[in-house]
């Protein structure tokens, strides 16, 4: 007889599932998986589903619990201040990038000269080099326009002046 690892896996998983599905009883407001003979008459078997029990706090612990919300609100205030600072930094970075892109665009347009840039030394003898450079300038202008539009979109997504969180 051959050893079949699939049968071993199926057997182990079936036995594991049997162990994981213990019976749960409800005894008044208490849930348990062990019932004594004394409790057996008042407890009922809970069927069909998982039971999650949340422990209630004792009255003496509420004083420490009331201290938690101010700490959370302090954290949220500092979190929103941090977010404002990040937004402000992002805005500054994007604005400087926008200025660079706009100045680069002006340089490209000046060099492009409405589709008739000045011919450089080797381009006077080789027309294809001139055509290639004009094509590259056109593509660079289009890319730069796209970059400017993207930067403006990003600036539009940021809160105005960092006033909003």
Chain segment 26-46, per-residue pLDDT in tens: 888 787 878 788 777 888 887
pTM: 0.49
Q: Using the 8-state DSSP alphabet, how is residue 159 labeled?
A: P
**Residue 34 in domain:** yes
The span from the CA of 130 to the CA of 139, in Å, is: 14
Contact 108, 144 (CB under 8 A): yes
The span from the CA of 26 to the CA of 119, in Å, is: 92
**Residue 80 in domain:** no
**Residue 142 in domain:** yes
Chain segment 101-149, per-residue pLDDT in tens: 999 999 999 999 998 899 988 888 999 999 999 999 999 999 999 999 9
Based on the fold, state whether residues 94 and 154 are members of the same structural domain: yes
Based on the fold, state whether residues 47 and 94 are members of the same structural domain: no
The whole-chain average pLDDT of the chain stands at 78
With a pLDDT cut of 90, the percent of the chain lying above it is 39
Instruction: With CA atoms as reference, report the closest residue to 45 among 23, 66, 67.
Output: 23
The pLDDT value given to residue 162: 47
- Element at 95 (helix H, strand E): helix 68-112
Number of domains in the chain: 2
Contact 159, 87 (CB under 8 A): yes
**Residue 76 in domain:** no
**Residue 151 in domain:** yes
List the domain range (segments joined by +) for residue 151: 89-162
């Amino acid at each position: 007889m051959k050893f079949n690892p699939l049968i071993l896996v199926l057997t182990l998983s079936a036995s594991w599932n049997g162990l994981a599905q213990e019976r749960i009883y409800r005894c008044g407001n208490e849930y348990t998986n062990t019932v004594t003979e004394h409790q057996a008459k008042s407890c009922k078997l809970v069927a069909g589903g998982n039971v999650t029990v949340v422990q209630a706090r004792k009255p003496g612990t509420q004083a420490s619990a009331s201290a938690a919300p101010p700490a959370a609100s302090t954290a949220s205030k500092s979190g929103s201040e941090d977010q404002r600072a990040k937004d402000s930094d992002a805005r500054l970075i994007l604005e400087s990038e926008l200025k660079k892109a706009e100045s680069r665009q002006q340089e490209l347009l000046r060099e492009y000269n409405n589709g008739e840039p000045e011919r450089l030394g080797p381009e006077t003898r080789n027309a294809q080099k001139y055509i290639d450079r004009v094509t590259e300038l056109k593509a660079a202008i289009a890319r730069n326009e796209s970059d400017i539009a993207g930067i403006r979109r990003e600036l539009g997504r940021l809160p105005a002046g960092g006033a909003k969180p």
